[in-house]
Amino acid sequence: MPRSPLSSPIVDELWRNAASRLGYRVVRTDAAYASSDGTSIIEIGTDEILDEDDALAQLVFHELCHAITEGESGRGRADWGLDNIPEHVTREHACLRLGAAIASRHGLRALMAPTTPYRDYYQELPADPVAADASDPAASLAAEAVARFDASSWREPIEQALADSARCVWRGVGNSDDAIGEAGASSDPPALHPLGFELGPQGETCASCAWLYVGGRGTPVARCRHSAPPNGDGARTAPEHPACVRWEAPLDCQACGACCREAYHSVTVSVRDPVVWQEPDLIERNGHRFEIRRAGDRCAALEEKPRGSFSCMIYEHRPRTCREFAANGRHCLDARRRVGLAVGRR
């Protein structure tokens, strides 16, 4: 059985630190596989009693996912208030769905799979493990847990540990004997970007991608716009990561025009906006609102050029609404997805 690529002293330390930041001390023991007192200690089995493809990172992550799933009612209780009984299977499934969703943001979903009897359930989860599923009550519980996680102070330490772990796997570093499995066995780039996307154009990196941005709660860090949920920050990445299939060069608004096309249905302007008197033929009144006139599904100021490019005929004095629309921002990506210029979320 191959050793987990996450099994290395450096990755172990990443997860000890993440747990410590959340108030838990990781202790190795030969008396349990994975357990917690719910208050300050997470116990992880020693290497001798773990399966060969298990890793401390994987098991600590799973315990933290249990804590998130159970919320305040589970914290402070041994093993988060759970037992290996039929009545708690749904809660276990919800934890696995949560873990799959979070790990997927960093390309670690497969490596964070459980090696318990729940492995089959985990491996059969859909691409979006927290999508609504009327046949499985764990799906809605997991969706609630993801929302709770994304809004919590736990997100930053866990996301950082995931991103740093993915970087270690990708670079093949962290293990003194280099026996970290196929994912880190050579200096060749991995089959996947650390965030889980397939690799893109050779020679390009996240640094040259339009969708890299610096932000997030706390200290701003490099993040991927493509990995962001509908509301929330994108996953952490690194400028030196190889480009993925969603890589795009910095955008030229005057060639794109996605936000002026079918992506959006109106541009509201203030009566005090200079465009009202500069371009009166393009202004329409709709009740108490002024809007830029539409030509079918597109802004009337949009001009289509050869080879499928577009430009704005009034770009230099476009309305304030358009000036405040951030190129390479969340809504920009959404607009390009709506008109088929960028692929959707995983």
Under DSSP, is residue 152 helix (H, G, I), strand (E, B) or coil?
coil
How far is the C-alpha of 210 from the C-alpha of 225, rounded, in Å? 9
Mean pLDDT is highest, among 43-47, 80-84, 109-113, 191-195, for: 43-47
Cβ(106)–Cβ(195) below 8 Å: yes
CA-nearest of 183, 138, 134 to 11 is: 183
Mark whether 328 and 224 lie in a shared domain. Answer: no
User: Residue 4: inside a domain, yes or no?
Assistant: no
How far is the C-alpha of 9 from the C-alpha of 17, rounded, in Å? 12
Domain extent for 322 = 253-338
Mark whether 85 and 203 lie in a shared domain. Answer: no
Mark whether 216 and 101 lie in a shared domain. Answer: no
Cβ(314)–Cβ(269) below 8 Å: no
Mark whether 232 and 273 lie in a shared domain. Answer: no
How far is the C-alpha of 231 from the C-alpha of 112, rounded, in Å? 25
Mark whether 105 and 215 lie in a shared domain. Answer: no
Among 250, 279, 300, which residue terminates a domain?
A: 250
Residue 320, pLDDT score: 94
How far is the C-alpha of 80 from the C-alpha of 94, rounded, in Å? 13
Residue 161, pLDDT score: 93
How far is the C-alpha of 313 from the C-alpha of 254, rounded, in Å? 9
pLDDT tens figures, 265-317: 889 999 999 999 999 999 998 888 899 999 999 999 999 888 778 999 999 98
DSSP single-letter state for residue 85: S
Q: What is the pTM of this model?
A: 0.56
User: Residue 208: inside a domain, yes or no?
Assistant: yes
Average pLDDT, the chain: 86
Share of the chain above pLDDT 70, in %: 92
Mark whether 202 and 317 lie in a shared domain. Answer: no
Mark whether 105 and 226 lie in a shared domain. Answer: no
User: Residue 343: inside a domain, yes or no?
Assistant: no
User: Residue 172: inside a domain, yes or no?
Assistant: no
Residue 208, pLDDT score: 96
User: Residue 25: inside a domain, yes or no?
Assistant: yes
Other beta carbons less than 10 A from residue 257's beta carbon: 24
Cβ(40)–Cβ(75) below 8 Å: no
Other beta carbons less than 10 A from residue 136's beta carbon: 16
- H runs (alpha helix) in 200-301: 253-256, 275-278
Cβ(2)–Cβ(52) below 8 Å: yes
Residue 76, pLDDT score: 80
Residue 256, pLDDT score: 92
Judged by average pLDDT, the poorest of 55-59, 80-84, 128-132, 323-327 is: 80-84
How far is the C-alpha of 114 from the C-alpha of 135, rounded, in Å? 22
Mark whether 264 and 239 lie in a shared domain. Answer: no
Mark whether 15 and 50 lie in a shared domain. Answer: yes
Q: What is the mean pLDDT of residues 102-119?
A: 84
Mark whether 104 and 146 lie in a shared domain. Answer: yes
User: Residue 78: inside a domain, yes or no?
Assistant: yes
Mark whether 282 and 268 lie in a shared domain. Answer: yes
Residues in the chain: 346
pLDDT band at 172 (very low <50, low <70, confident <90, very high): low
Mark whether 319 and 220 lie in a shared domain. Answer: no
User: Residue 109: inside a domain, yes or no?
Assistant: yes
pLDDT tens figures, 202-246: 889 999 999 999 998 778 999 999 988 777 888 888 898 889 889
User: Residue 161: inside a domain, yes or no?
Assistant: no
Residue 184 has pLDDT above 50, yes or no: no
pLDDT tens figures, 26-47: 999 988 888 999 889 999 999 8
Domain count, the chain: 3
